[in-house]
Amino acid sequence: MATSAPAGAASGRLDDLSKLVALCKRRGFIFPSAEIYGGFANTYDYGPLGTLLKNNVRDAWVRDNVQRRDDVELIDAALITAPKVWVASGHVAQFNDPLVQCLGECKNRYRADQIDATQCPNCGGPLSEPRMFNTMFKTQVGPVEDAENVAYLPPETAQGMFVNFANVATTMRRKLPFGIAQIRKSFRNEITPGNFVFRTLEFEQMEIEYFVEPGTDEQWFEEWVSARERWYLGLGIRPENVRRYEHPQEALAHYSKRTIDIEYHFPFGDGWGELEGIANRSKGPDGSSWDLWQHEQSSGERLSLYDEARKQHVRPAVVEPAAGLTRAALTFLIDAYEEQVLDADKQDVRTVLHLHPALAPYKVCVLPLTRNKPDLVRTARELYESLRRRWMVTFDSGSGIGKLYRRQDEIGTPYCVTVDFQSLDDQQVTIRDRDSMDQVRVPIAEVRDWLDERLDY
């Protein structure tokens, strides 16, 4: 079930991120990390509502990419693992960005490929020659700080799936095609992070390695690009804000035969930016997976499946849809945000997040019209207790009803259920729709079924 913005809504969308950043802080979605110490650049803490939103994005991804498919298994591999994994994958040698530093006053650092200047864009000072900078975070295992004990924080989730390919295929008795999915934190020592949680040092990814017969990878690639695009649109992202970007051959990563990004039109920079990348990582011999091939060479273990018909082992090709969980959460917030003018003469404007119900932190808010009538509060409380057995529901009271509705609009709660004086007589409540603001009377005994029908995603 997709929600869409009401007619005439387009006017009040975001021009930049400042209002959304303020809302996220004010309403408990996202805080600057370690704020009491003045924060820490480009790291953020997810507050109560941000955590719920992020969990809902994760659940929606698992529902559509694992639960409702026959061919994808979910795993959760260790973050800190054998450093040989990152040598074999090419990250130790190749996960580099070209860095230049201002030699003038400010000493700012930039990614050489992201600035189009010979002087520092900040202070106008001269820039150093570019030097390559590995963006993996290093740590050490054990008490001795030497080269032997170096370990890396993962810059992508993908390698967890490649090194577990044989484990999953064997234990789950899988034949091609099948996929391995994972949601996990990744870390990149980004030189130019920024734009709120768009690019951070620490972020979450949702990735699938979909293993297929070599020769069928191009067709699967097309299918995954379409499937992943549909996923965002199905969760309410407006189609005019989404497009595909094909990476030119000369710019492809070392493992990729073809990469298409699903891009979103963000309210910063020059607009279009990567939301998700889909890569055909089949640049190994005979069009097989580059990464499985590398791990075979490096570990000496066979990473292929036995094909009974052909009586031979087949190293699969692989298609990788790689999404950012935290970037997707930001994108859903941006796309959902609206300042809607309700009455221009009275300057009555409401801020509303038109989040898809599957993503909304709370699905329902139960509101007693007054706090001063114990029967009424008890009825509201009983309804709240019943509904929260099924959904994440909140309870609010104390202000005027209009103000309470606006408070829920601003955090994207799709339905408000109000228990009023009449409810005690007719055993009915008012349910208000966030987007249309329409109100209907529903018998208390039927509220759960009424919501169930509408929260069926």
Cis? peptide before 267, omega within 30° of 0: no
Identify whether the C-beta of residue 342 lies closer than 8 Å to the C-beta of residue 350. Answer: yes
Site size with ligand GAP, rule: CB under 6 A: 19
Residue 54 found at the interface with ligand GAP (CB under 6 A): no
- List the one residue from 65, 326, 394, 408 that touches ligand GAP (CB under 6 A): 326
Residue nearest to ligand GAP (CB): 324
Residue of 88, 180, 208, 322 interacting with ligand GAP (CB under 6 A): 322
The binder of ligand GAP chosen from 50, 179, 321, 324 (CB under 6 A): 324
* Residue from 353, 294, 349 nearest 318 by CA: 294
Q: Minimum distance between the CB of residue 26 and ligand GAP, rounded to whole angstroms?
A: 23
Minimum distance of ligand GAP from residue 185's CB (angstroms): 11
Q: Which of 228, 283, 327, 363 binds ligand GAP (CB under 6 A)?
A: 327
Say whether 218 sits in a helix, a strand or coil: helix
**Interface residue with ligand GAP, options 218, 274, 339, 433 (CB under 6 A):** 274
Strands (E) across 266-316 are located at 272-280, 305-307, 312-314
CA distances 71 to 61, 91, 325, 423, Å, are 15, 29, 22, 49
Rg (CA), the chain: 25
Task: Work out whether 316 is an interface residue with ligand GAP (CB under 6 A).
Answer: no
Among 229, 276, 291, 338, binds ligand GAP (CB under 6 A): 276
H or E, element range at 393: strand 393-395
Residues 154 and 85: beta-carbon distance below 8 Å: no
Could you give the CA distance from residue 397 to residue 354 in angstroms, rounded to a whole number? 22
158 binds ligand GAP (CB under 6 A): yes
Q: Is 256 in the site for ligand GAP (CB under 6 A)?
A: no
Q: Which of 56, 101, 195, 200 binds ligand GAP (CB under 6 A)?
A: 200
- Least spacing, CB of residue 326 vs ligand GAP, in Å: 5
DSSP letters, 310-370, are TTEEEPPEEEEEEEEHHHHHHHHHHHHEEEEEEETTTTEEEEEE---TTT-S-SEEEEES-
Q: Which of 73, 97, 156, 396 binds ligand GAP (CB under 6 A)?
A: 156
Q: Does 188 bind ligand GAP (CB under 6 A)?
A: yes
Question: In the complex, which residues of this chain contact ligand GAP (CB under 6 A)?
Answer: 156, 158, 188, 190, 199-200, 203, 205, 207, 274-277, 320, 322-324, 326-327
